[in-house]
Amino acid sequence: NVPYQGLPGTKYERTFMMVKPDGVQRQLTGEIIKRMETKGYVLVGLKMVTPDEKLVSQHYDDLKARPFYKGLVKYMSSSGPVVAMVFQGKGVVDYGRVMIGVTDPLKSAPGTIRGDLSVDVGRNTIHGSDGTSPAQDEIALWFKPEEVADIKNCASAWIYEK
């Protein structure tokens, strides 16, 4: 069995991703999941949550000193639900960030989630963990162990050579 926070550096690496309130309201959840799944990554955790300020503050703890922090926490905790997800696969943390694009959607390349689906930095549709250590922390913050599935992807032998 895979530890529920994943095994960084293996095909059982896991990352935390979250469709932000704007993405949920704009009904982009399916589009985002589709991109990750068709790449070959496995959805192993999924829930809709309306996070309170405490949870959002913990999630964005590293940004406490930034001028946009207050607005960010307020937005994320008072604009309706988010969709919290755990994806699994080789390189999913770093390549997940490549698929998302950079923080500013207008600087994100076409083909990325933010590049294709959003315009404004404060409404950039999706969160993805920035490194394997934050990924493990964020999975633990948003999910209980029993909420993350141990899925053996039936296509694994066709996605991975070994």
Helix (H, G, I), strand (E, B) or coil at 14: strand
CA distance 103 to 37: 22
* Active-site hit among 42, 127, 135, 148: 127
Give the nearer residue to Mg ion in terms of CB position, either 2 or 83: 83
141 scored as a contact of ligand IDP (CB under 6 A): no
Least distance in Å: CB of 107 to ligand IDP?
Answer: 10
Is residue 20 part of an annotated ligand binding site? yes
Give the nearer residue to ligand IDP in terms of CB position, either 116 or 149: 116
121 scored as a contact of ligand IDP (CB under 6 A): yes
Residue linked to tokens 């009904």: 27
- Chain Cα centroid distance, residue 102: 14
Least distance in Å: CB of 49 to ligand IDP?
Answer: 17
CA distance 124 to 120: 6
Q: What angle do CA 161, 159, 136 make, to 5 degrees?
A: 100
70 scored as a contact of ligand IDP (CB under 6 A): no
Burial class (CB in 10 A: 0-12, 13-18, 19+), 127: buried
Binding mask 125-144 toward Mg ion (x if CB under 5 A, else -) reads -----x--------------
147 scored as a contact of Mg ion (CB under 5 A): no
**Catalytic: 59?**
no
Binding partner of residue 133 among ligand IDP, Mg ion, none, CB under 5 to 8 Å per kind?
A: none
* Beta strands 42-49; 14-19: pairing state: unpaired
* Beta strands 42-49; 82-88: pairing state: antiparallel
Is residue 103 part of an annotated ligand binding site? yes
Residues that bind Mg ion (CB under 5 A): 130
Which active-site residues does the annotation give? 127
- Would you list which residues are annotated within the binding site? 20, 68, 97, 103, 114, 124
